[in-house]
Amino acid sequence: MKPWQIRFEERLRSDAAPAVLSRDLLARMARSARGGTGAPVSSLTHWIKAACRSGKLQPVLRGLYLNRWRSRPGLAADAAPWLRTDAVVSLNTALADAGVLNNPTRIVTAVVPLDAGAPPPKLGRQLTRAGAFQFHGLPRRILEAGAVEDRLEPAGRFEHARATPEKALVDWLYLGASPRSTRTLPPRGDMDLGLLNKTRLKKLALAAGVADVLDGWMTGSG
């Protein structure tokens, strides 16, 4: 292995290294490891292929990889914002990982903002080599409803934007009650509601305009 490759891989092993790596980002990091001289395209391609074979890079899509060198390897969910701008991991994934949803899915579920007058993002399922993703659209005012500390997990806990379990449930309730969504209301029997912060949940539901939906769902009348 060449000296620059050793330096390159040492930087990728650092916990400060990105969880998700594009080919352009890898090229910039290789250039830095080579003292400012860009790596030949063929050399970088050969290195990437070898890293994928060894499992140190996990392909997501062409030119996009999870960094598996680190002691805290990149996760499929970390790639969600790379696949859709401003995507927030929410719904089933956030609830299952928090232990609230007892019937987890391997599909990464995320919500993306819908902005009036802007081209709509591509929604629905996307298959990648790292797993399947399901993207749902929310009006930005709903996606960003509530105080940041109530709706998003603290910075550093995850390496992607992730809804708190309370916000994930509110997102699900909004979609389940919306006539423009095919998603149904969440199954109460599969939820461990004792793990939720009820005060936060009520504040977020009020901010998103689904307080009545939450009340009906909690009492079984919704």
Q: CATH number, domain at 31?
A: 1.10.10
- Same domain as 101, residue 56: no
Residue 200: Cβ within 10 Å count: 19
- Same domain as 213, residue 108: yes
Closest CA to 107 of 121, 122, 127, 87: 127
Q: Tell me what pLDDT residue 222 has.
A: 58
- Edge-to-edge strands, sheet with 20-22: 20-22, 64-67, 57-61
- Cα–Cα distance between 139 and 117 in angstroms, integer? 12
- Same domain as 60, residue 111: no
Q: Pairing relation of β-strands 64-67 and 57-61? A: antiparallel
- Same domain as 212, residue 129: yes
Structural domain total, the chain: 2
Q: Which residue among 74, 94, 124 closes a domain?
A: 74
Residue 40 CA to its chain's centroid (Å): 33
- Same domain as 132, residue 57: no
- Cα–Cα distance between 26 and 67 in angstroms, integer? 11
Q: Which residue among 74, 100, 130 closes a domain?
A: 74
Structural domain harbouring 29: 3-74
- Cα–Cα distance between 156 and 183 in angstroms, integer? 31
- Same domain as 65, residue 118: no
Q: Tell me what pLDDT residue 80 has.
A: 98
CB 89 within 8 A of CB 80: yes
Q: Tell me what pLDDT residue 196 has.
A: 97
- Same domain as 189, residue 144: yes
Q: Residue 155: which pLDDT band, with cuts at 50, 70 and 90?
A: confident
What are 135's two structure tokens? Answer: 């993207």
Q: Which residue among 49, 74, 99 closes a domain?
A: 74
SS3 94: helix
- Same domain as 191, residue 91: yes
Q: Reduced to 3 DSSP states, what percent helix, strand and coil does the chain have, rounded to the nearest 5? A: 45, 20, 35
pLDDT tens per residue across span 47-77: 899 999 999 999 999 999 999 999 899 999 9
- Same domain as 10, residue 30: yes
Tell me: pLDDT of 167 over 70.
yes
State pTM to two decimals. Answer: 0.92
In the chain, which ranges are continuous DSSP H helix? 3-13, 23-33, 41-54, 80-83, 91-97, 140-143, 148-151, 165-177, 198-208, 211-219
> Among the listed ranges 38-52, 72-86, 133-147, 148-162, which one has the minimum average pLDDT value?
38-52
Tell me: pLDDT of 221 over 80.
no
In 69-132, which ranges are continuous DSSP H helix? 80-83, 91-97
Residue 60, H or E segment:
strand 57-61
> Crossing angle, helix 165-177 and helix 211-219, to 10 degrees?
90
Question: Percentage of residues in the chain with pLDDT exceeding 90?
Answer: 75
- Same domain as 81, residue 55: no
Residue 183: Cβ within 10 Å count: 17
- Same domain as 27, residue 66: yes
Mean pLDDT of 193-220: 96
- Same domain as 97, residue 51: no
